[in-house]
């Protein structure tokens, strides 16, 4: 084994032993005893293979330790999408709250502005249209909330005295 191979294997052994130690500390209390025994045995095989400086034995021991580590603590699915979506939603809610209560507050002194604020607008219509008769008026009401109402003022007559 030349210098560069030994360096690569040394890094690999160090990384795998660190991962095994980490897994033992994180999941040692909840993992099955058989899985922990398999982890210990795989780590001992890796240490023995490194002491012998046998490349083939190091490869098989590294693979066995990697399998044992994944068995004790399986890899989790990446949660970056959920975390980023959560941050975006919270930031949006905070921004809307700040905008609503501090940047753009409205005070309506009378009730005359409330229909405009709530989006209620009235446009005069010359007469009944096609959509104002049954059954189309039901569709118009369900889709847009509109309905035709004709209101006429009573005629006032003057009394002569």
* 12 CB-side CA count, 13 A: 19
For 3-72, CATH number? 1.20.1270
Per-residue confidence of the chain (161 residues) as pLDDT tens digits? Answer: 788 888 999 999 999 999 999 999 999 889 999 999 999 999 999 999 999 988 899 999 999 999 999 999 988 888 888 899 999 999 999 999 998 888 877 777 777 877 777 777 777 778 888 888 888 889 989 988 888 888 888 887 777 65
The domain locations on the chain are 3-72, 111-144
115 preceded by a cis bond (ω within 30 of 0): no
Structure tokens at 56: 């083939």
State CA 149 to chain mean position distance.
47
Q: Is the dihedral of CA 130, 133, 139, 142 positive or negative?
A: positive
**Phi/psi at 113 (nearest 5 deg)?**
-90, -15
Contact between 36 and 24 under an 8 Å Cβ cutoff? The reply is yes
In degrees, rounded to 5, the angle at the alpha carbon of residue 21 between the alpha carbons of residues 29 and 1 is 150
Structure tokens at 154: 């009573």
């Amino acid at each position: 084994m030349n210098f560069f191979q030994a360096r690569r294997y040394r890094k690999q052994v160090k990384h795998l032993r660190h991962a095994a130690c980490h897994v033992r500390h994180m999941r040692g209390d909840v993992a099955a005893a058989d899985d922990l025994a398999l982890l210990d045995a795989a780590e001992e095989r890796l240490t023995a293979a490194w002491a012998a400086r046998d490349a083939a034995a190091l490869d098989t021991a590294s693979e066995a330790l990697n399998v044992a580590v994944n068995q004790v603590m399986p890899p989790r699915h990446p949660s970056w999408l959920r975390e980023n979506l959560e941050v975006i939603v919270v930031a949006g809610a905070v921004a809307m709250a700040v905008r609503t209560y501090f940047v753009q507050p409205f005070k309506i002194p009378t009730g005359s502005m409330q229909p405009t604020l709530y989006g209620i607008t009235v446009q005069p219509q010359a007469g009944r249209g096609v959509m104002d008769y049954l059954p189309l008026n039901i569709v118009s009401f369900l889709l847009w909330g509109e309905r035709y109402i004709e209101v006429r003022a009573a005629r006032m007559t003057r009394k002569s005295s």
